[in-house]
Amino acid sequence: MAAIEDFLALDIRVGEIVKAEVFEDAKKPAYKLWIDLGEAIGIKKSSAQITECYGLDDLLGKQVLCVVNFPPRQIANFLSEVLVLGTYSKQGVVLIQPEQPVEKGDKLG
């Protein structure tokens, strides 16, 4: 069992995808994402295995939830700085989004 302190240690913020590319060097199909997390955090990069449910054109302008306080992770030739959150569903990974548009950088609380 995880303790509430484990959850509270996560810094989960809303970001907006501002750029997306096919990640050709990834072992599994993935996209490279650039996510604007607001003034305080800026634009961060993420590798996301979401190709089954999203085309590149679907992603631009989409708000997503990201864990911003994990250490960066080198994936092939790309440094992934944040973890984009999604559910492992039968159709593939489905991104978690706010129900309504919110400010970039808003914290899950």
Supply the pLDDT for residue 32: 98
Domain span at 45: 11-95
In a domain, 4, yes or no: no
In a domain, 43, yes or no: yes
In a domain, 5, yes or no: no
The total domain count for the chain is 1
In a domain, 2, yes or no: no
Calculate mean pLDDT across residues 28-33. 97
Supply the pLDDT for residue 88: 97
> Residue 30 pLDDT > 90, yes or no?
yes
In a domain, 100, yes or no: no
**Predicted TM-score of the model (pTM):** 0.94
> Residue 41 pLDDT > 90, yes or no?
yes
Give residue-wise pLDDT tens across range 12-22: 999 999 999 99
CATH of the domain at 71: 2.40.50.140
In a domain, 20, yes or no: yes
In a domain, 91, yes or no: yes
Q: What is the DSSP string of the chain?
A: ---HHHHHT--EEEEEEEEEEE-TT-SSS-EEEEEE--TTT-EEEEEE--TTT--HHHHTT-EEEEE-SSPPEEETTEEE-SEE-EEEETTEEEE---SS---TTPBP-
